[in-house]
């Protein structure tokens, strides 16, 4: 294969890390490429599932003695604690790795410290190679750990004029099957799907991740969360069908905001405690407005159909702004056709201060 640069190896490690998307939580996505002293790839691995071997361990097992004197290129700082697996810092030292190149330091205080351990053992450590790409590839986990609450994606589907249903309440189907398949793939990348009790009462959704072509359930299902201040979710609602774990979050259990509704920051803190690092907010417009008004939405994914209604409920209810100067400003980062529809991805712009 020939020798490769550490920059090239990091690019490969970032691609490897992405293979664990949707299955590693509450652990991060991590990829590792091992180079021998001549710079040839002798091992690679990624963290595939929580509780399974870490990326470095997989790569070391593949490399064996060829790792000695070589370089480990890792997307995230090697862990330094004993959890369900041993510390990766110690495994790299024991394998005789001479140099470690990493993309992003670990913000988790429990696992951090790998750099210090490696350097104390005489291993050369370089930090920040392709840092922006490594950060972007692990954005949800890194953001969640730094803040102690899940990374929240608001997803909606609407007509081009922003309607999520017709005036008579009918909404099946505004977007195409291709868009709905895309949504189910998106559900498969998160740990929880959140909806309000209004959506549950109106639409009785399953909120599961499924193969729409044959109806089969994905192997891993996100936690279904119904934000239900007064406990109105029917006992026979489909979110209670046993196909996936469900939490009906009431104000009595979570705590209330000044208006007597479920306290949303507390809700997210509890989800984080339960291992949720990324969550998908799916409905409806009232709940989305409340999350946006509280500044709790990290990413917006909208599916826009080439249709017009002119009446009916809008995708978003009151989100705080009273005048144009208070608008919630977004930045588009991706616009992609999905079947006849458009998927738009945007991030709230960071405000100064």
Strand-by-strand arrangement of the 31-35 sheet: 41-46, 31-35, 71-76, 99-104, 124-127
Q: Which of 8, 40, 44, 56 is catalytic?
A: 56
Nearest residue to 71 via CA among 138, 4, 1: 4
Query: Is residue 177 annotated as a catalytic residue, yes or no?
Result: no
How many angstroms separate the CA atoms of 88 and 69, rounded?
17
Among the listed residues 124, 117, 86, 80, the one whose alpha carbon sits nearest the alpha carbon of residue 102: 124
Name the burial class of residue 317, with classes exposed (0-12), middle (13-18) and buried (19+) by CB atoms within 10 angstroms of its CB: middle
Quick check: 232 and 201 in contact, CB under 8 A? yes
CA angle 312, 315, 318 (to 5 degrees): 100
CA-only gyration radius of the chain, Å: 23
The residues pairing with 279 across neighbouring beta strands, listed in sequence order, are 152, 192
SS3 292: helix
Give the catalytic positions in this structure: 56
């Amino acid at each position: 294969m020939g020798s490769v640069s550490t920059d090239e190896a990091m690019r490969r490690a970032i691609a490897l890390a992405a293979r664990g998307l949707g299955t590693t939580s509450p652990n991060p996505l991590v990829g590792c490429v091992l180079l021998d002293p001549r710079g040839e790839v002798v091992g690679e691995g990624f963290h595939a599932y929580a509780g399974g071997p870490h990326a470095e361990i997989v790569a070391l097992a593949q490399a064996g003695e060829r790792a000695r004197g070589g370089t480990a290129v890792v997307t995230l700082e090697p862990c330094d604690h004993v959890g369900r697996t041993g510390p990766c810092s110690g495994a790299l030292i024991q394998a005789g790795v001479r140099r470690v190149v990493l993309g992003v330091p670990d913000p988790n205080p429990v696992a951090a410290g790998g750099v210090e351990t490696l350097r104390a053992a005489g291993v050369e450590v370089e930090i920040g190679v392709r840092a922006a790409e490594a950060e972007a590839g692990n954005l949800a986990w890194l953001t969640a750990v730094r803040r102690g609450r899940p990374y929240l994606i608001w997803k909606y589907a609407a007509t081009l004029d922003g309607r999520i249903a017709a005036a008579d309440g009918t909404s099946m189907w505004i977007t195409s099957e291709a868009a709905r398949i895309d949504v189910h793939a998106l559900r498969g990348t998160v740990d929880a799907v959140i909806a309000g009790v209004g959506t549950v009462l109106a639409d009785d959704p399953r909120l599961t991740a499924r193969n729409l072509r044959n109806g089969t359930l994905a192997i891993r299902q996100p936690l279904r969360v119904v934000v239900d201040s007064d406990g109105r979710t029917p006992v026979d609602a489909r979110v209670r069908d046993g196909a996936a774990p469900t939490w009906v979050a009431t104000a009595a259990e979570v705590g209330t905001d000044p208006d007597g509704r479920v306290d949303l920051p507390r809700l997210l803190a509890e989800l984080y405690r339960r291992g949720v690092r990324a969550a998908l907010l799916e409905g409806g417009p009232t709940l989305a407005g409340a999350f946006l008004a509280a500044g709790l939405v990290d990413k917006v994914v909208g599916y826009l159909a080439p249709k017009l209604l002119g009446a009916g409920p809008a995708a978003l209810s009151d989100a705080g702004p009273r005048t144009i100067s208070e608008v919630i400003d977004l930045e588009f980062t991706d616009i992609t056709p999905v079947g006849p529809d458009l998927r738009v991805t945007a991030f709230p712009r960071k405000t100064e201060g």
